[in-house]
Structure formats: C-alpha cells, structure tokens
Amino acid sequence: MRYAETGFNLEIDLSRGGIERVATDPRDTELYLGGLGTNTKILWDRVPPEVEPFSPDNLLIFSTGLLVGTPATGANRTIVSTISPQTLFMAYSMMGGFFAPELKYAGYDKVIIRGKSPDLVYLWINNDKVEIRDASHLAGKGAVETAELIQQELKEPKAQVAAIGLAGENRVYMASIEHGRSSASRLGIGAVMGDKGLKAIAVRGTNDVNIARPAEFMELCNEVLEYIPVRDQNPVPGVMPILAGLGSPKEMTVHDEKWHTENFMWGNSRVRRKGYWNEEVEKKWTESMENVRTRLISCYNCPMKCGAIISVPGVSTYMMKCFSKLTYTMAAFSDLDFGFRIAQRATEYGVDGFSTPQVMAFALELYEAGILTDQNMAGMPSDNEGRFYWLLDRIVRREGIGDVLANGTHWAAQQIGKGAEEYAHNNIKKHEQLPLKLSMLNPIYFLMYCTGEKANITQIEGNFPQAPFLTREEREEFVKDWIQVPDEKFKEYVLNWEPRGENSMPYYPTIEATCEIVDWQEKMHYIDDAVGMCAGLSSFPLKPPYHIHNYPAFISSATGIDMDEAGLTHVTKRNRTLLRAVNVRRGLRRADERPPEDHWKKRFPELEAQLLDAYYKFKGWNNEGIPTKESLQELDLDYVSEDFLQQGILTDNEGTLSKEASA
C-alpha cells in the first residue's frame, strides 16, 4: 500500500485524446518526495532542452504535494510545472485553495498533460471516470465564470475547477491559471495551458488517503493546530504588519499600508513616494477595504483566512489574496478603489497581478517618451484609469500594441526597440519582479534575487528577519523562543546584526553567514513545494509551525519512509540541484543571475561578485552556477553529470570523467 500519496498519475495526451492511469515508482518518492521534486524529475526525463514552451512536447504538470490530502493543516498546494514562455526556463507556479486535495481524493498525485488539442476542451476527472470534453462554448469566457459554468454543466457544485481566461487562450505570457480560491500566476503557465487548447480541469474526488502511522501523525497535526493561534495572538514586534503574523501575507486584513506605499515603487517600478501615507489616505483606504471585503476565506484545511471575497458594486464578486490589492493601484498612481475594480476584470481574464500592471505602466512610459506613438495607442482614452482598462483589454486580446505587450516587458522591449530596453528595467531572468527599490544592498536578498529559480521574490523570502532589529533588547526578545532555527548560530547572526556600524549591511551578515541563511530559507521552500505545504505556514513567515525539526516526523509518519533532518536536507538539496540542472541544460548561466540594476541605490560590485562566488561554492556549483560532477554524484544525480559531460556543459577539467570515458 502507498501512504500519503496515491501512487498513480493521470497521463493526458491532448493530441490523440489519450487518457491513462499510470502507476508511479515508490523509489521516486524516496528520492524526490513529490510535488515540485517529482515534477522536476519528470521534466528532466521527458522534456529535452530543445523543446519549446509552445511545443506539443512541452508538458504541463498539475501536481499535488506529498502531504496534500492528509490532515496536515495547510497542505493544499497545487504545483504547476512547465517550461515558461517568458523565461524559457522551468516554471513552477503554485496555487492554494481546494484543487490539489480534491485531485488526490480522486486518486491521482499528478495530472500530466502533453500534446495539443485542435479544439478547445476541458478535462473532467470524476474519481476514476475521466473525460476530455468539448469547451468550444467556453471560448472567451472569464476564468471564474468558466468554473461556475462547468460546475453547472456537470451538475457538480463540489467539483474544483482550475481554468484559464482569455489571456491564457491567447497565449499571453502573463496568463495565470485561476481556481476561484487561489491562482497559479507567475511565469506564463496559463499561456501553456491555452496553447494546449485546454480551457479548464474540473475534478471531484471521494476516496481516502492512507497514512502510515495515523496516531503519531495526528499528534503532530494537533501540535501545529495548537501552535497556530498562540503564534497568531503573539505577533512579532518590530517588523512590518504582514510579517508579524502567520499566513500567506494577510494583505486582506492589513489596513496599514505605510510601508508598502512608501517603500515599493509606483508606476513601472519608478517612483518612491515618501510621505504618501497620511491620516486622510489611511481613512480613505480603510473605508475602501471595508466596503468591498465581504468575507475572509481560507484554503482547504487551514484556519488562517488569507483571502477575501471582494464585492465591488457593478462587477461580479471575486477572490483576492496577497499583494495584488496594491499592484494595479500603484502602477496607475491611483487609489485602492481602482485596484479592486480592475483586479476583478484581470482575474476573469486570468493574468498575473504582479507582472501585468508593470507591463501596462511600461507601455505608458514608452508613450510618454515618444517611443510608442499615437498610432500605436490609437483609441486609447485620455484618463489614467481608462488607459489601464484599455491596455488590459488590448493585451489579453493581443490586439494592436497589445500583441507586443502580451509578451511581457523583456520581450516587448526587444520587439519595440528604439531604446525601449532601458524601460524594461525591473526584470530578473526576463521576468518582472516586485517593484521594490531600496537604499542599501541587502546581501541575503541579493543572493535570493540572483539565484532563486522560482523567479518570485515573495515566494523565496523566509524565516530569517528581513532587516536588523533596532535594539539589542528586541533582538534578544526575538531569538529567545526561536525554535525553528536549524542551528544556534543563526541566533547569533540576528543578535549581532545592527542597523548601523560595522555589523550592518552590506557587509553583515558576513558572506559565509549570508550563504547559510539563504540556503536555509531556500531549503524550507523546497520542502514546502515538494510536500504541498503553504509557504504561509512554513517557509515564508517568522517562527512558523512547520520547520526543519518537525517536518521529518510529519513525512515519516505520513509516508512510512524513514526520514530524519539530515535525510530531508539531502533530498531537498537533490531537488534543488536537479531543478538547477534542468535550467542549466536550457542555458542558465551566471550572467542571468542579476537583480535589476536599480533595485538598490547603493551597490557593491566587488562584494556582489564575492557573494555569488561563495554561494555557488556552498551549493556545489562551479563559477558559472553549474552543479559539479562531484556534487551531482553525492546527490545520486549521476545521470545529470553524464548528460552534462555529453553536452559539453561540464568539461573534462570540471568533471572527473572524460567525455570519452563517459561515452
């Protein structure tokens, strides 16, 4: 019997209409856990580097995590992996909500989609009955509307639906996959879904998930459930509101936006508005929030209520979570009301709320600079809000200039030319980043920005404080109950980290300490992404309920696999290295690992080079960021090193095997 997982994947060939239930190898679970780990192995094995994002041979994988569907609170993530049209590297975007647990209860760990359907279709998974159904009547429908129509058509209100809107159908690079209670937004995975002619997946499952040692597992779950309210009622003092508690930034409950509005940049990541937040703005924004937020909602099996049902007069209700509350508002230099209004349309179109507002503000900057002309913008209204609606409509339809902008700022700038590249200034690996510009280089964030392959800063930051506490007393208070640290030395790093002087940024934390901190944060994310845990209860907040000391017991008692901290660390390192290998095989090199030039005002090129050198070494990568043969062997990834030697990615000097011996 398989525990925690079902032991079956669903393979769908949309070109031939093939549907197959395929047993998986339990050894892969031991090596890679599940979720992102096994997704990466499948992409390594089955999607060679020459396969383009919009090729029928690209795979689109919807995966549950290993603990999804168990009683572990917050284990509800769907990990969607494919090759991104925007970065041309592996994308792995995640959504919470209810989709993944339902899929596991239907009897599948993953749905693996290949090929392309000639006509628009949707997939209906009803336990072991699986059908590819016509979706031509859903063409052009909104993502949320599609889910409702499918539930009605199937007469199955409990079906969980993941759908694309018009943006996905038109292969817009910012297209998301929406699921009513969450969305997988980053890196253009919705465009790949649209390219495959797949409008939606609906799933209903009523089977059980087995647990290897249920009594032990339930005890651990109860400990987490007891800890969450205690932690929630004791917010961390001295940090910004969204970092004080637990959960995936609980933006829907936060009314104090001083930090975001004054530190994040407005427009196309251009202008910092110091002193913006005053009493009048606070009052107006609080009223706006309270007028539209009808109910706070949670994902499956979680008490945290990070999302909200938003109801704006005159438009359909929708779900909002996280920072998208501010992205449209700040891109348009507008107010919160506007953000809530346009986000409804954007959700139905199915676009990423981080990238899309930046693309629109980028277009307006180009227009103001005379790089885009009246001819390009013919028909655009003169008022600011009207321009944003107009641009959004053009982009999702790929009409006129919208066809160029639909490729994101990096590719659009290249197509437009005439100096437009200078305006695509907030990208890493060709992908729009958070519009954050700060003063002093933060060495921890520098490394995370450069090397993180999730390409989404909000999802790689983690358990270590983002900035030093102001006083020694605050630091001592913070570390005294910090049980989540993998090693006591991390407490020392916090205690010694000061806002000014010798032990301040950019030279403190030291290079060595910075590598250890970044590695720890990244490790926690890779565990979450393999087991399907919400980062909001584990890798993202300070002092979360899940950490390196209790995760091994969770995994062991759920799956029956013997796992201790060293073993889990090893598996995680394997998963992280394999993901890097997928991208290295697709051309990722050191030159790609750069934060936006103006992300910090004060830059230190020599220190930055040293940080990257040291981190690569720490990870077992060579100076180009390529895992070495030795480190690959230690992680049982010999098949990767053989491939690298054959491709000439690793040379004889770097590997111990010669090309001849390898051959």
Give the residues lining the site for ligand SF4 (CB under 6 A).
Answer: 74, 76, 96, 247-248, 298-299, 302, 304-306, 534, 536-537
Q: Left, alpha or beta for 350 (phi > 0: left; psi -120 to 50: alpha)? A: left
- 295 phi and psi, to 5 degrees? -160, 140
- Smallest gap from Cβ 11 to ligand SF4, in A, equals 28
- Smallest gap from Cβ 301 to ligand SF4, in A, equals 8
> Closest CB to ligand SF4 among 68 and 579?
68
- Identify the bridge partners of residue 60 per DSSP, sorted by sequence position: 113
- Smallest gap from Cβ 543 to ligand SF4, in A, equals 14
- Smallest gap from Cβ 187 to ligand SF4, in A, equals 19
- Identify the bridge partners of residue 204 per DSSP, sorted by sequence position: 126
> Closest CB to ligand SF4 among 302 and 632?
302
> Closest CB to ligand SF4 among 305 and 570?
305
- Whole-number Å distance between alpha carbons of 475 and 40: 39
> Closest CB to ligand SF4 among 183 and 628?
183
SS3 content of the chain, % helix, strand, coil (to 5): 45, 15, 45
- The SS3 call for residue 294 is strand
Long-range contacts, 25-33 (Cβ 8 Å, 24+): 26/2, 29/5, 29/66, 29/559, 29/561, 30/561, 31/571, 31/574, 31/636, 32/530, 32/571, 32/574, 32/575, 32/578, 33/66, 33/527, 33/530, 33/531, 33/555, 33/571, 33/575
Long-range contacts, 306-312 (Cβ 8 Å, 24+): 306/247, 306/248, 306/249, 306/250, 306/251, 306/252, 306/536, 307/181, 307/182, 307/252, 308/252, 310/340, 310/343, 310/344, 312/337, 312/340, 312/341, 312/344
Tokens 């700060």, located at residue: 438
> Closest CB to ligand SF4 among 72 and 361?
72
Identify the sign of the CA torsion 440, 458, 37, 132.
negative
Contact between 207 and 127 under an 8 Å Cβ cutoff? The reply is: yes
Identify the sign of the CA torsion 299, 300, 304, 305.
positive
> Closest CB to ligand SF4 among 289 and 450?
289
| H-helix or E-strand spanning residue 371 | none
**Residues with Cβ < 8 Å from 651, sequence gap 6 or more?**
none
Among 551, 568, 526, CA closest to 67? 551
Q: Number of C-alpha atoms within 13 angstroms, CB side, residue 617?
A: 9
- Smallest gap from Cβ 536 to ligand SF4, in A, equals 3
> Closest CB to ligand SF4 among 61 and 534?
534
- Smallest gap from Cβ 93 to ligand SF4, in A, equals 14
> Closest CB to ligand SF4 among 242 and 626?
242
Among 576, 556, 567, 562, CA closest to 620? 576
- Smallest gap from Cβ 535 to ligand SF4, in A, equals 7
> Closest CB to ligand SF4 among 150 and 304?
304
> Closest CB to ligand SF4 among 308 and 377?
308
Q: Which amino acid is at 345?
A: R
- Smallest gap from Cβ 75 to ligand SF4, in A, equals 8
Q: Cis link prior to 545 (omega < 30° from 0)?
A: no
Q: What is the 3-state secondary structure (H, E, C) of 544-572?
A: CCCCCCCHHHHHHHHHCCCCCHHHHHHHH
- Smallest gap from Cβ 98 to ligand SF4, in A, equals 10
- Smallest gap from Cβ 183 to ligand SF4, in A, equals 12
User: What is the C-alpha R_g of the chain?
Assistant: 24
- Whole-number Å distance between alpha carbons of 108 and 277: 49
Among 179, 189, 14, 20, CA closest to 101? 179
> Closest CB to ligand SF4 among 96 and 115?
96
- Smallest gap from Cβ 541 to ligand SF4, in A, equals 9
Q: How close are the terminal C-alpha atoms of the chain, in Å?
A: 40
- Smallest gap from Cβ 539 to ligand SF4, in A, equals 11
Burial of 186 (0-12, 13-18, 19+ CB in 10 A): buried
- Smallest gap from Cβ 76 to ligand SF4, in A, equals 6
> Closest CB to ligand SF4 among 77 and 141?
77
> Closest CB to ligand SF4 among 164 and 224?
224
- Smallest gap from Cβ 74 to ligand SF4, in A, equals 4
> Closest CB to ligand SF4 among 162 and 304?
304
> Closest CB to ligand SF4 among 228 and 588?
228
- Whole-number Å distance between alpha carbons of 78 and 63: 6
- Smallest gap from Cβ 323 to ligand SF4, in A, equals 13
